[in-house]
Structure 1
């Protein structure tokens, strides 16, 4: 029996912006990334629904 894959917005570009503390690839925060596997599917869906409204600071 296999476990179902956890849905994730990760795009394998893992680098965190120092100012915003968001990943430049998926726009999740450091805390969200660290907690991802412990979140319920509903919590992960809420984060994923919020991602389109996020952006990195302009430099």
Structure 2
């Protein structure tokens, strides 16, 4: 997939609390993914979204 002009929206749900695995209890991003979101390219953001989807399914990533 190629970079597009419109930014990929943040999956943030406004809860912002990390669990013991350093994952947000709401959006399931890691602390580092949250911190870096603003500097990621759209393609990188899409990869984070894919990881989130796997985490919701209980897959390790």
Task: Find runs of 4+ consecutive structure 1 residues off by over 3 angstroms.
Answer: none
- Structure 2 unaligned spans of 5+: 1-5
What TM-score results when the alignment is normalised by the length of structure 1? 0.76
Instruction: Please report the TM-score for the alignment, with normalisation by the length of structure 2.
Output: 0.73
How many residues align? The count is: 52
Structure of greater Rg: 1
* Alignment RMSD (CA, Å): 1.9
Correspondence 1:53 to 2:54: yes
